[in-house]
Amino acid sequence: MIEVGDPINLKEVVNCFFKLVNQTPGLKITQKGRLMVKVTDNTDQYASYSFIFVYPDDKNWDKYLEMCFEYLNESWPKVFSDKRIMKDYEKQLKDRFFQKNRCFLFLKKRNKTIGLANLYFHEDSLFVAEYYIVPDERRQKTGYKSFLNIIRWAKNKAKNIKIEVDKDLENANNFWLSFNCTLDNLGKRNIYIIMLS
């Protein structure tokens, strides 16, 4: 087990990662060495949706960062338009990856990358730090269907999913309200809670 503060040994991190994969139903390593998660059954209307794990320094990392920066610049253009801030953000993502229970995902629809997710586990909850669907896939229930696979994957790992959203992001708030969730809007940000049990 790797503890926070331990010196980083990439081989040990990768071994822990693959151990987690082997212990998780629905996960498999594809022939190309990619980690694929497909949570489906023969009657599943969302069978064309899946996700793959992305980690620093793999061949998808630069594409993940590019899409992540698109998302951040779209949501907060005044904050994330400066390239120096983006470099700092990349360092933060790498640091978070080496902490316990962090997952970076590419969302897929029929093998096409349609978005990303940045998730982490804390106590009994799965937190959604970022969830992004590319513009040409929006307003088609693509984000909703893709997130249902994440919900199904998380059911045996957490009791609930928590999402914090800035109150002024109307589209994001409407999206999360489409799930059967509770809303805590008393603080500075809206907090959505999706129960998994």
Query: What range defines the domain where residue 95 resides?
Result: 10-195
Widest Cα–Cα separation across the chain: 48
**Residue 56 belongs to some domain of the structure:** yes
**What domain count does the chain have?**
1
**Residue 5 belongs to some domain of the structure:** no
Task: Answer whether 0.85 is exceeded by the pTM.
Answer: no
Confidence (pLDDT) at 74: 82
Rounded distance, CA 19 to CA 32, Å? 18
**Residue 84 belongs to some domain of the structure:** yes
Mean pLDDT per 10-residue run, the chain (197 residues)? 55 59 54 49 63 90 90 75 76 85 92 95 94 94 94 93 93 92 91 93
Q: What is the CATH number of the domain that holds 52?
A: 3.40.630.30
Q: In what order do the strands lie in the sheet with 125-133?
A: 27-29, 35-37, 49-54, 102-109, 112-122, 125-133, 160-166, 189-195, 182-184
**Residue 44 belongs to some domain of the structure:** yes
In sequence order, the 6+-apart residues with CB closer than 8 A to the CB of 99 are 4, 120
Confidence (pLDDT) at 29: 53
Confidence (pLDDT) at 75: 75
Which two tokens mark 118? Answer: 């940045």
**Residue 2 belongs to some domain of the structure:** no
Confidence (pLDDT) at 71: 86
Confidence (pLDDT) at 31: 46
CB 99 within 8 A of CB 4: yes
Confidence (pLDDT) at 98: 84
**Residue 158 belongs to some domain of the structure:** yes
**Residue 1 belongs to some domain of the structure:** no
